[in-house]
Every structure is written in C-alpha cells, then in structure tokens.
Structure 1
Amino acid sequence: MSSESTTVVKPVAAAAEKRVRHPEKAHKPDNPIQRKPAWIRVKAPTSETYHETRKIMRDNNLATVCEEAACPNIGECWSKRHATMMIMGEICTRACAFCNVATGKPNALDPFEPTNVAQAVAKLGLKHVVITSVDRDDLDDGGAAHFAEVIRATREVSPETTIEILTPDFLRKEGALEVVVAARPDVFNHNLETVPRLYGEVRPGARYFHSLRLLDEVKRIDPSIFTKSGIMVGLGEGKEEVLQVMDDLRSADVDFMTIGQYLQPTPKHHAIDRFVTPDEFGHYKKMALSKGFLVVASTPLTRSSYHADEDFAQLRVAREEKLAANG
C-alpha cells in the first residue's frame, strides 16, 4: 500500500500526474483533500542516492509501487537504495477506491522482466527485496507463473537476498497460489487493506474472506514461509472492527501485521474519514502484539514495504525466540 502534505515531492507528483488519469473515476464526485497533520509530513527527496536508485529503475525498464502509488516514504527509502519492484506492468485490472495505480487494459507481460528485476536487485545491493504487482485478472493464472519466474531469476543472481512478495488475491485463479508458494519466497504478503464492512466501497473487486483464506492456505502449503498482511486506517472503520481484523489474521496464523494511515491520492479517490493519531497507532500495535503477531508495524507512515528489511530481521529473531520458548 499517498501524498506528502505541505512538502510536495514534485518529481514524483509530476510523474504520477503524467502517467495516471483514472478515467474510471471521472464520474465520481470530488472529495476535497484534507490538509495533513504535522506527524505525517515528509521532506522532498534530494539525495544523490535517491537519483541513483531512480536511474537504476529506469535503466532496467522497471516500475515501482513507490512511484505508482505516490508513496510518502519514497525519499527516505530510495536514499537507502530500497525500492519496491512492481511487476506485470503499470496498469491494473481493478479500480480500488484508495489506489493511485492506473486502471485499464494491461499490456502483455514483459518476458525480460524477471531478468531485469534480478539485475536491479544486484545493482542496488539489496539484502532484502519486496516485489509486488498490479492485479492481472486478464491472465489465466493472475500472473502467478510470472511471479514465480521473477523469484527464481532473483535467487539465481542474488542467492543471499531474501525475497518478500506482495501479491494480488488470485481470485478465481485455481492453482495460482500453489505456483507462487512453490517458488518459496521468504515472506508472502497479501493485504486485506480495510475492514470487511468497507470492502464494497473501498475494494469492490475483492472478497475479504477469500483474502483471509489465501493467507491461511500459504501456511498450510508451506509453514516455513512468513505471512504478512496490512490495513489502512482513517477510511471510516471503527476500533472494534480493526481488532476483529487482527483476530481474523491470527486465525489464519499470519505472522506480521502492518497498519498505516490512508492518504487520499486525488479528489476522485475515497475521502479520508480522519487522521488517526500516533497514540492510537501505538495502541493498535500493543493490541496486535498481545494477540500473538511476531512483528507489528503501526505508525501513520507505515506501508507494506516500509523498513521491510529491518522487519524481516525481527521476524527471524521473533520466530526463533518463540520456538525456543515452546521447547
């Protein structure tokens, strides 16, 4: 799973405006974008490393969710050479009300993309990489085989790099999940995004309980893979609904939960209901940890891949400690 408040990252904003028109949302009424509170303001990216990272993405003909979703953390992450690869194109087959990625008819898959991703990972020197994608409902397997090819190519070039994937839900794509899990990513992430009551207006193309079953099935197929999921808050959900999502994720044996503030990309996207305070995020983290998650990231700026390398190291330690405690 945004904009930058009073300090605008102009290169990213300009690029997003050029690429993304959201014609499917043109008929929707405008929802004025609210001024952001001080706790989610970020600085524009200016470091030399940021521009080096951007060049590597362009040289390898790669898209990143950092740019396509206008992530507020792009300056910090790219300055550390951390970029989240977005495979299978820049056009999604779904039109979620929160998402800044363009919707429409996607192009054919790029057969060179697995190699390009692998080369970019090597050039960036990543110890941990996050690979996500658009939804590809147009493909018979939802892009599962392509995901697996990217994982294998990355492992071949950078065998020491741990791989985290953030996948679509593969809705109505029988056998797709098994193909991805067989490629053995270190972390399998699939975001629930919001509470079930809001799915109809926020994530109309998805099904809450299907996504839960997907996460549960990953653990059934290969218990060694860490599973991860996240939600946005500030969309109109209630506290008890968030706590229920936590319980649902734990029932699927999910290891890691992320909770972040929803930030409205354009006036045509879902309106922000409110800005959740840092204290509330801290409370959610405390509650989630008490329910048994190994790791919880819960801050206004938390996103699925934010600090993913550090979080993965925590996951490993937490699992080892849990196994030791259980004898």
Structure 2
Amino acid sequence: MENFQIIRSFLPKSISDADLLTKYYPALKDSDNSIRYDGKLKNVDTIRAKPRWLLSNIIPKNEESNSNYNRLRNTLSGLKLNTVCVEAKCPNIGECWGGKSQTKHQDSNINILDESNNHQMATATIMLMGDTCTRGCRFCSVKTSKCPPPLDPSEPENTADAIHKWGLEYVVLTSVDRDDLTDGGAQHFYETVQKIKEKNPKILVECLTGDFQGDLECIRKMSLSGMDVYAHNVETVEELTPQVRDYRATFRQSLKVLKLVKEFNPKLITKSSIMVGLGESDQQIFETMWELKNAGVDCITIGQYLRPTKMHMKVLEYFTPKRFELLQEIGEKVFGFKYVASGPMVRSSYRAGELFLKNLILKEQVV
C-alpha cells in the first residue's frame, strides 16, 4: 500500500492537495479502501532492448493476408491517395492492410469493405495534400521539402467518392504540414470534409490536422467544416518538444489549437496523442495530461515511440504493457479524460472507428 504523499509526488503540482483528496484520490481506491496504483511507474520494468511485444511483421506472410495487403495498396495507388500507414512507416501496416473478416485491432481507422463478400477487410488512414511535408520533425519518416508539389484540386472529390463507394461509417483524414501555402491547406482539407458529408451526412469524420501555425481563421474554418472529431497531436512533453518536433511546432501552439477548437465549436470531440520512450519523466507525462485536460481535450492516445530509421531519434526506453495500462487508468480516473488509448503499438489514430467513439459522437449529437 502507498500513502497519500507518495501518490502526491507522482502527480502535477498544479493539482492541489485538496482536489486530490476530494476529487481524484478516492477514484484510485478499491472497495476495501486499498490503493491499486503503486505510484512507481518508473519501477515497472525499464527495458532498452526491443521487447517481444513490439515484434511484428510489417508485410503479412500468409497468402490470404498478403492478398488483402496488395489489394489495398493497389486500390489506394490507383486512386492516387496517400496513406500515413506507408509514408510514416507505421508498424501496424501488416496487420491493418492484411486484416480480414470481423477483425478489429488497434489502428483501425478506415474500415474498407470488400463488396464481394461484405466483410470488414482492412484499415488505412488517408493522408491529404501529398506525401511531402514542409516540416522536419525528428521522429517522423515522411519526406520533407520547402517546396512540395502543388495540391491536386481533384483530391477532395476523389477522396469523397472513394470513401462513399467503400460504404464507410467512420473515416480518418490526416495531412502533411503545408507551410508553403497561405492557409496551410485548410481550405483543401475543409472541402474534402464537406464533400464527404455531402455524399453521406451519416459518415463520421475524424481529422488529424497540423497546427496551421496557430492561424485563427484556419482553425475556425476546420472547426466548422462538419467533422465529428478534431485531432491534433502535441506528440511529446513540453520539455522535449524542441528536440523532437520541428522548430515551428511548439507545445504551447498545439495547446492553443486545441483550446480554440473548443471555443469555435464546443460540440466537437477533441483528441491528442503522446509518444513515450524519448526520455520523458512520469511527472512530465502527468503534467502533459493536465495541460491537455485544461485545454478541453476529451480523448488522448499514448504509444511507444519506434525509431523509423537510423537517421531519426533513438529510443531511450521501452515501456511495458503494464506501465501503459497504469497510464490509461490514471488518465481516465485521475484526470477525467473520456477515453484513453494506451499501449505499445497505439498510434494517434488508434481504433478511430471503434464503437466507443461512434456512440460518444451519436450521444452528443442527440443532446
């Protein structure tokens, strides 16, 4: 058992002792009044060699899964649509793209239906505005350039057509940063959401956007685009942001975006994501949770940083599954997020189409 002072030492100082005792601390107790959280996340296995739970096959090996993988790759290529799955070297791509009937897993963003046999086939996340980013974050493998190719004016319509034909209920759209454009591509993003909703208003749309350099008009436009979930990632704790993200992407600017979204459209569900394993402390993770909650964020995801190439930042620590479970419990029961997805292979668009978010969105629409 741990006493209050030990629990206190692992939570942000911005939470007062009174609040901990009256609001949060009771939520961490079992019926027998014992404390389940041991307050020592740093002692839950510090691992530096890549552990077994992170070993996965990027390309599926069995014939059926490989067929699904190739089919999705060829379909998206034929539509000239980019996916973050490929460009960001997502470690879940083999499972997502090789997925088959009724299989739900932790990165299911777009549920693409196989019309020939009417079952859930595979998952992907559509990345708008090309495959070249104007920023150079040190954790990301998406290629960069100061002058990416111009936008494809037919992309919003093509994306909406493809999504409509696939018969989706929930779709995730993301994009590269386009600082070369006056509005950061906000209008292009806006038109894509609008066209999707025009073809089927019932499709739930999540958008994972950049910060648009904090431009109020761009954030307002996106907030009022008709999307259902507005996601923007802080990526890491504030202290590590200068080493992890591009110099134009600051922690405070990301918080500003998330706060503005709620001001422009209070009904929108907001979401953010944190990577771990970059050298952050437990205290810094908790402070980040506190900042996000104060910014009005409803849901967060927490996942293990994996080095995409030797040119990128090194992994300093691998969190165990148990440690991720503790972070989830603290996020939901201490900080009060509506939903926390926390796990080694969790990514920012983790289970985007799952039942929880769908029901949450539909419930808010009724209210």
Shorter-chain TM band:
0.7 to 0.9
With over 3 angstroms needed to count, the CA separation of the structure-2 counterparts of 1:124 and 1:321, relative to structure 1, is closer
- Aligned counterpart, 2:105: none
Q: Is the 8 A contact 1:163 1:187 kept in 2?
A: yes
Distance (whole Å) between structure 2 residues aligned to residue 50 and residue 259 of structure 1: 26
Distance (whole Å) between structure 1 residues aligned to residue 87 and residue 327 of structure 2: 28
Structure 1 residue 94 and structure 2 residue 120: aligned?
no
How far 1:193 moved relative to its partner? Answer: 0.2
Q: Is the 8 A contact 2:300 2:337 kept in 1?
A: yes
What amino acid is the match of 1:248?
A: E
Structure 1 residue 37 and structure 2 residue 37: aligned?
no
TM-score (norm 2): 0.75
Give the stretch that moved more between structures: 128-137 or 315-324.
Answer: 315-324
How far 1:156 moved relative to its partner? Answer: 2.1
- Aligned counterpart, 1:298: 342
* 1:308 partner SS: coil
Instruction: Please give the residue correspondences for 1:43-54 in structure 2 after superposition, counting only pairs within 5 Å.
Output: 43=57, 44-46=59-61, 47=65, 48-54=67-73
* 1:171 partner SS: helix
Structure 1 residue 269 and structure 2 residue 284: aligned?
no
- Equivalent of 1:82, from 123, 145, 148? 123
For residues 192-250 of structure 1, give each alpha carbon's deviation from its aligned partner in whole angstroms, at most 9, with x where no partner exists.
00001111110132111111111011111111111000010001110110011100110
- Equivalent of 1:219, from 262, 266, 276? 262
Structure 1 residue 120 and structure 2 residue 162: aligned?
yes
Q: Is the 8 A contact 1:97 1:202 kept in 2?
A: yes
Distance (whole Å) between structure 2 residues aligned to residue 182 and residue 279 of structure 1: 39
How far 1:84 moved relative to its partner? Answer: 0.4
Structure 1 residue 170 and structure 2 residue 212: aligned?
yes
Q: Is the 8 A contact 1:294 1:319 kept in 2?
A: no
Structure 1 residue 208 and structure 2 residue 227: aligned?
no
- Aligned counterpart, 2:275: 232
- Aligned counterpart, 2:77: 58
With over 3 angstroms needed to count, the CA separation of the structure-2 counterparts of 1:159 and 1:174, relative to structure 1, is closer
How far 1:323 moved relative to its partner? Answer: 12
- Aligned counterpart, 2:187: 145
Larger Rg: 2
Q: Please, which runs of 5 or more residues in structure 2 have no aligned partner?
A: 1-47, 100-120
What amino acid is the match of 2:189?
A: F
* 2:212 partner SS: coil
Distance (whole Å) between structure 1 residues aligned to residue 68 and residue 165 of structure 2: 13
Q: Is the 8 A contact 1:121 1:158 kept in 2?
A: no
* 1:198 partner SS: helix
What amino acid is the match of 1:249?
A: L
Distance (whole Å) between structure 1 residues aligned to residue 150 and residue 292 of structure 2: 34
Identity of aligned residues (%): 44
Distance (whole Å) between structure 2 residues aligned to residue 280 and residue 68 of structure 1: 29
How far 1:54 moved relative to its partner? Answer: 1.5
- Aligned counterpart, 1:257: 300
Distance (whole Å) between structure 2 residues aligned to residue 267 and residue 247 of structure 1: 33
- Aligned counterpart, 2:329: 286
Distance (whole Å) between structure 1 residues aligned to residue 168 and residue 223 of structure 2: 22
Distance (whole Å) between structure 2 residues aligned to residue 129 and residue 86 of structure 1: 11
Distance (whole Å) between structure 2 residues aligned to residue 321 and residue 149 of structure 1: 26
TM-score (norm 1): 0.84
- Aligned counterpart, 1:4: none
How far 1:251 moved relative to its partner? Answer: 0.2
Q: Is the 8 A contact 1:118 1:154 kept in 2?
A: yes
How far 1:81 moved relative to its partner? Answer: 2.7
Q: Please, which runs of 5 or more residues in structure 1 have no aligned partner?
A: 1-33
* 1:292 partner SS: coil
